[in-house]
């Protein structure tokens, strides 16, 4: 579904993404992990043609995303609140997005009803504009608007970051359902190793713009990633030794 060829992005003389070749097949659920500044968002932005690479290209269903439009009809993404429209209420925004996808208000209402638990009574019929929602609730609106589009490709950048634990749990189930029951190809980035290994069947580990590991998720993947990121080791913080317990994350 997605093919990346010789992709390079350079900022201020520093190469921040460098991917010689990567293929993401239709129906895969891919998790992107890596420390701050590893290049995850920059990669997302190039896949969505929001920024142009210095060299190389991204193909979606065989078509270069830069300069073509077909991929936009089957791709839904939420990277940050910049994807929303601040002066609309969540309902108005959903009707707007539904309208772009030829959905009637009744169809949108049906989806919103199904998303009731996910919204947790905090978003709809509150008389609030999107700009007045918390970051977590804005994220819920963004994710919900993606699902409303019935996409073939769903891309979410750190969707677990600002949402509460019960919503994280619901979001994980929604992502699994989207991928496993509806066959939606999902690419999700996260710093939460538990969530990402739970949801994704393939993990790409990025470091300084390079994909250094491409792992088919198994029962040992979480440990492998925790070892890589140093979770569970004793970290010296001045005179105080802070022990990060691996079991905390289970």
Binding region for ligand ATP (CB under 6 A) out of 31-39, 78-86, 96-104, 166-174 = 31-39
Cβ pair 80, 86 in contact under 8 A: no
Of 18, 19, 39, 115, the residue at the interface with ligand ATP (CB under 6 A) is: 39
What's the N-to-C CA distance of the chain in angstroms?
33
Q: How far is the CB of 124 from ligand ATP (least distance, A)?
A: 29
H/E element, 92 = helix 90-100
CB of 82 to ligand ATP, least distance (A): 13
Q: Left (φ > 0), alpha (ψ -120 to 50) or beta: where does 27 sit?
A: left
- What is the distance, to the nearest Å, from the Cα of residue 76 to the centroid of all Cα atoms in its chain? 10
- CB of 145 vs ligand ATP, minimal distance in Å: 21
Which residue, 38 or 154, has its beta carbon nearer to ligand ATP?
Answer: 38
CA Rg value for the chain? 19
Residue 212 engages ligand ATP in binding (rule: CB under 6 A): no
C-alpha separations of 198 from 142, 175, 176 in Å = 22, 10, 9
Number of chain residues interacting with ligand ATP (CB under 6 A): 11
Spatial contact of 103 and 148, defined as CB atoms under 8 Å apart: yes
The yes or no reply on residue 60 touching ligand ATP (CB under 6 A) is no
Q: Which of 1, 33, 38, 193 lies at the binding interface for ligand ATP (CB under 6 A)?
A: 38
Interface with ligand ATP (CB under 6 A), residue from 4, 31, 40, 47: 40
Residues that bind ligand ATP (CB under 6 A): 11-12, 16, 34, 36-42
């Amino acid at each position: 579904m997605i093919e990346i060829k010789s992709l390079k992005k350079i900022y201020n003389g520093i190469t921040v993404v460098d991917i010689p070749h990567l293929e993401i097949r239709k129906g895969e659920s891919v998790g992107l992990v890596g420390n701050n500044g590893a290049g995850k968002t920059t990669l997302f932005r190039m896949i969505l043609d929001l920024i142009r690479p210095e060299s190389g290209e991204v193909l979606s269903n065989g078509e270069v995303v830069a300069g073509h439009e077909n991929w936009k009809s089957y791709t839904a993404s939420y990277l940050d609140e910049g994807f929303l429209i601040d002066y609309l209420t969540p309902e108005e925004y959903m009707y707007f997005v539904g309208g772009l996808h030829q959905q009637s208000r009744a169809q949108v209402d049906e989806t919103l009803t199904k998303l009731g638990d996910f919204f947790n009574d905090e978003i709809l019929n509150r008389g609030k504009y999107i700009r007045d929602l918390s970051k977590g609730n804005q994220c819920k609106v963004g994710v919900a608007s993606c699902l409303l589009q019935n996409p073939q490709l769903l891309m979410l950048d750190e969707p677990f970051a600002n949402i509460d634990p019960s919503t994280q749990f619901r979001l994980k189930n929604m992502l699994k359902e989207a991928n496993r029951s509806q066959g939606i190809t999902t690419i999700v980035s996260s710093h939460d190793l538990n969530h990402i290994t739970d949801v994704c069947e393939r993990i790409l580990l990025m470091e300084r713009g390079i994909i250094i590991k491409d792992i088919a998720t198994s029962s040992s993947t979480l440990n492998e990633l925790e070892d890589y990121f140093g979770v569970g080791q004793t970290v010296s913080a001045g005179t105080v030794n802070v022990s990060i317990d691996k079991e905390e994350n289970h």
